[in-house]
Structure 1
Amino acid sequence: MPAATSRKRPRKNARTALRFGRLAAMGTVTALILIAGVRGSWGTAQHVMLGKGREQGTMTVTACSEERCTGPYRPVSAGSRARARVTIGEPAAVRKGRTYAVTVKPGSGEVVRSGPAGLLYAWIPLGGALLLASVVVAGGLRLTRAAWVMAGAGLALLTAAFLAL
């Protein structure tokens, strides 16, 4: 009898080890996806969220190419100076002939949209990362409720950004 129980124990230990390995691997993948989403968003979001002390104003879009739009900049904040030409790197977020609230990136002639629309647009990479990570959480970690919450948050963020633009 003792020999029969010793055969089952290694199988149980192996299953436990495989389960732990799967959880560790999928948890790591999920964390990396979310970190990449935050990092992809932070490059623009920092200028919008931490706008205090930065040059803020409006930009009227006069010309657009496939990668950039340009136009004059009018200051709104104290200490900001007018510029004849600034560029914005998100042609999908602006239209020619319209005026947008913007924040100037320090030390450059490049601007990013500010306000609610600019904030939502800056966090689009995180919304995509939440959607992707929800698939990993549901399939790899078997946490369906958490996956639905993540997917819902990502979809809400993307939908809000789409409607704001």
Structure 2
Amino acid sequence: MFIGEYTFKVDAKGRMSIPALFRRELEEGDPSAQATGRPKMVIVYGHEKQKNLQVYTYEAFQALTRDVLKMKRGTDARRKLERWVLGKAHPTEVDPDGRLVLPQKLRAKIGLEKEAYFIGAGETFEIWKPETFEADNAALEESLDDLPDDFDTLSLLDTGE
């Protein structure tokens, strides 16, 4: 599971460290990683309004692909997922130094320059331009203004029971 938050420098070639805990998860999510030492992952850059990059383990992305392909053909939802998730995805792998190399196209998509902000999201992790994340998070935090002072975040869990 991807949890926690980290900030790393991005060099001119788009290279950045991957948090060590995230690398371990990527290794577990790629059966060939033990032999190669370079776990594969898939980065989804999505539709034009998506402000971050979503990173999946190799196995998690394969499972997601299977879920999309189970959907009824020709539906609007399947077409969007095919285009914005499957089509707007970039397979890559950890380099020999434990880094991620992001192509210029993906860096430009989210305005990434000198630093990258990583945040765990359970099955995936996200990569943000730090300032964009701060603004997005501030908007989310504003929604707390309408909640009681003793609000329990875990009350948001809907287990269907």
- Structure with bigger gyration radius: 1
Q: In which range does the TM-score fall when normalised by the shorter chain?
A: under 0.3
- TM-score, normalised on structure 1? 0.26
Q: TM-score, normalised by structure 2?
A: 0.27
Normalized per residue, the structure richer in helix is 1
Which structure features the higher share of strand residues?
2
